[in-house]
Chain A
């Protein structure tokens, strides 16, 4: 059975839950540092260790960043929000309850548009609006490590502010899930909320997926998948799971709600073996903390201070500079690159030409040198100068590429390099006559072909002239002179 065809008979419903570590200097309820990589149990204090007698104190910056995220995701910011205790036992839990938010989260509702360009470069600009159910704030737990005979807990991570973002089940495919995650990541980075480095554990993602025959109205069994460590892992897990569920339904099996674990090494999901007790979290309002009631005018001030989001930037660049979706996407992904492009484009009329230079030559060099556009050794004005030279036909495109490489390496200006190396396009009639004559003389075979009617041979001859001129001869002129010297019509 080939799954491609099976899939067409089924409707896929996917929802995501992301846990994002907020980029704050200190933990959610105490002043401990949140830096990654410290030796175990060195970034701890009585509060985040849950010692007898301690009390939590709210990290205001974590609240602000959560509200900022809600604003960026078009959510409603609650006028009255509170923390609740989520009660369950586990060795990585200092208090055996987690301070979280249950029924009055900081942000409710919202939406984020994913762009299919994240999964297919040719589809930039093709969007889908995905609902956000809620964004709330809680504290992270410690980290368990299993050794030969026993286990250890590192509480450095316990108490780090964690923002939970729950999507509506609006995603219809593993690719959409991937694109959604990518879209969310760029928003969170742009907002300075998190660096979203999954390798450092800054983002954790759980998904749930159900499959049903297209005609069926009720949703199929909702199956949760945990333990994916990268966005690609999420997509791979979903692809596998969708296939598995479709095959099962095709075989006439009934699927039951369950939680499964993604095994990246095996490339498969498996039922979770851990003793997961039916979770009655016995939520009740956290009595040690006061409710949060953000003032409306403060919230509006936060909204006014929001940066331009990547999707909006892409759309604006496309519109403002008459660029295609792909170009706008390549330029708009990073604020620094977009800023670079826009500054350069101020000095050159041909925005498309600037776009090409930034997307190709500049980006390539920046990536190789591991530099951000804001630290480019070629400043915008310098690139503008180069592009202008090409536009004015002073140098050829090929020459310009070499010049740019030199500019990047040396920091010299285009003008300086062109002058130094005498790279300006040569239009000197006499010189071109000389080179054409030389080429004709040296390439009797090509000339013969040309006289024999092979028009393509003209390009080969032109190429020889260009070689002699080291690419600097004006191509149009060369063609004219060659034809004249050979006695051909124009």
Chain B
């Protein structure tokens, strides 16, 4: 089998036993990328020489005695979504407005991964500035779902999801503001985890919505997800919103099973008009949990209906300010003008795509004089109510089960005409960001025809990643959805 089909935990065993070298792993990665990229188009940039050099360095370190305990990811290639800063590499956010911009610094998560020995490579396709649910808003290219090349891989971290599902990377970093890791993970049939707000440093993550963004990752299984989480989690003095909570041994925490655990099913998430196959797969997963000894409770999250509206007010407001810095003055695209204002207008007019402009305008509007109280302030208050729904629910249950997305992967171009339709594909994932919880999506089945992955979402209390990983792992061990590979 090709080395790139390995999981991280399998690969590092082989690396430790010198059965393979990091360089061989890198070459296998590049070979696979060469083979499938023409169809998948997950990468927008790939520095092959740099990848090889890092792999060689990892091998040299291993030869000189670097041990697995100190460097748990030594030689493991991890790919990066195009909005996470990697020193010396472009950081384009798949937008024209950042053409030519090379990041002069590493994001904290990249520093941590490097310290753990990981080989950081590639820039992965995404919806421009993380605004989208299908990766169709990328200004660069369209990424295709490895299970059906006519369909979207989800968004905004579509490139990251597709790369892992197509075995182009053993793991890939993404970001999740309203579901941008979990929803693509469900679309392509891999594991995607969004840590709690404040669990992972945002320093080096190009900001979309500051109070909602988190860096997370994609992996082939829950053990891999746990390993990477253990490396990237932790307080960062450069991020004032990161929290000084101790980082658990997530790999250790996978064991334990779900016997006696209480899992909540929110009644508001199982509604009219749900895709029948999605519902069936998720209900079957719930049954599996019962079999495994968990207790299933019906819970209520009464303010669920307001989540999408609240999200699109808060996220766009924060984004309108976060994206103001892209003005052609200091870096990126500049379209000259007779005066600064004209330069701003031309640069941002040419540099931003339609969805980004739409959200900036919306965000500017909800913050403007006379509207702040009615929209932004009110949305923040409702946000508190949404968060309270969850905190109350967690008094009764240890974790919450929901479908990750209302449908399986839709066709490229199917929802691009109506932005609101696109927004609704985040309906199950969005509340998690508003409430600051942690969430993971794992594969739980397929649609019949075509065969498309279906995702199960597990939501946990803030800083309780250990529990959701444990719940996810228990299901994964009892099924084999996660072992199925896209027929590429």
**What residues of chain A have their CB less than 8 Å away from a CB belonging to chain B?**
46, 49-58, 85, 87, 89-91, 94-97, 153, 275, 280, 282-284, 287-290
B240 touches A289 (CB 8 A): yes
B142-150, B187-195, B364-372, B402-410: which lies at the A interface?
B364-372
Instruction: Give the residues in chain B near A56, CB-CB below 8 Å.
Output: 240
Is B170 interfacial (CB 8 A cutoff)? no
**What residues of chain B have their CB less than 8 Å away from a CB belonging to chain A?**
83-85, 91, 93, 98, 101, 103-105, 107, 202-207, 210-211, 237-241, 317-318, 320-321, 324-325, 327, 329-331, 340-341, 344, 364, 367-369, 372, 376
A-B residue pairs, 7 tightest by C-beta = A96-B324, A287-B210, A282-B367, A287-B211, A52-B206, A280-B369, A53-B85
Cβ-neighbour of A89 out of B85, B206, B327, B331 (below 8 A): B327
B98 touches A52 (CB 8 A): yes
The CA-CA distance from A51 to B83 in the complex, in Å, is 12
A52 touches B325 (CB 8 A): yes
Residue of B at shortest CB range from A275? B341
The CA-CA distance from A282 to B321 in the complex, in Å, is 9
B104 touches A87 (CB 8 A): no
The CA-CA distance from A280 to B367 in the complex, in Å, is 9
Residue of B at shortest CB range from A85? B321
The CA-CA distance from A58 to B327 in the complex, in Å, is 25
Residue of A at shortest CB range from B205? A53
Decide: A284 near B104, CB < 8 A? Known: A55-B239, A97-B321.
Answer: no
Per DSSP, chain A at the interface is loop
The CA-CA distance from A91 to B91 in the complex, in Å, is 22
CB distance from A273 to the nearest CB of B (A): 13
Instruction: Give the residues in chain B near A287, CB-CB below 8 Å.
Output: 210-211, 241, 318
Instruction: Give the residues in chain B near A50, CB-CB below 8 Å.
Output: 325, 330
The CA-CA distance from A58 to B240 in the complex, in Å, is 8
A90 touches B91 (CB 8 A): no
CB distance from B234 to the nearest CB of A (A): 15
CB distance from B473 to the nearest CB of A (A): 32
B324 touches A89 (CB 8 A): yes
Instruction: Give the residues in chain A near B211, CB-CB below 8 Å.
Output: 287
Cβ-neighbour of B368 out of A96, A280, A290 (below 8 A): A280
CB distance from A306 to the nearest CB of B (A): 29
Instruction: Give the residues in chain B near A54, CB-CB below 8 Å.
Output: 203-204
Interface centre among A57, A289, A290 (most CB of B within 10 A): A57
Instruction: Give the residues in chain B near A288, CB-CB below 8 Å.
Output: 207, 210, 240-241
CB distance from B364 to the nearest CB of A (A): 7
Residue of A at shortest CB range from B369? A280
CB distance from B96 to the nearest CB of A (A): 14
Residue of A at shortest CB range from B317? A284
Residue of A at shortest CB range from B92? A52
B240 touches A55 (CB 8 A): yes
The CA-CA distance from A58 to B239 in the complex, in Å, is 10
CB distance from B372 to the nearest CB of A (A): 7
CB distance from B317 to the nearest CB of A (A): 6
A53 touches B237 (CB 8 A): no
Interface centre among B202, B325, B367, B368 (most CB of A within 10 A): B325
A46 touches B105 (CB 8 A): yes
B241 touches A53 (CB 8 A): no
Instruction: Give the residues in chain A near B103, CB-CB below 8 Å.
Output: 51-53
The CA-CA distance from A258 to B1 in the complex, in Å, is 76
The CA-CA distance from A95 to B98 in the complex, in Å, is 15
Instruction: Give the residues in chain B near A46, CB-CB below 8 Å.
Output: 104-105
Decide: A94 near B84, CB < 8 A? Known: A55-B202, A280-B368.
Answer: no
Instruction: Give the residues in chain B near A289, CB-CB below 8 Å.
Output: 240-241
Decide: A284 near B376, CB < 8 A? Known: A57-B237, A97-B324.
Answer: yes
Interface centre among A57, A287, A288 (most CB of B within 10 A): A287
Instruction: Give the residues in chain A near B206, CB-CB below 8 Å.
Output: 52-53
The CA-CA distance from A89 to B325 in the complex, in Å, is 9
Instruction: Give the residues in chain A near B318, CB-CB below 8 Å.
Output: 284, 287
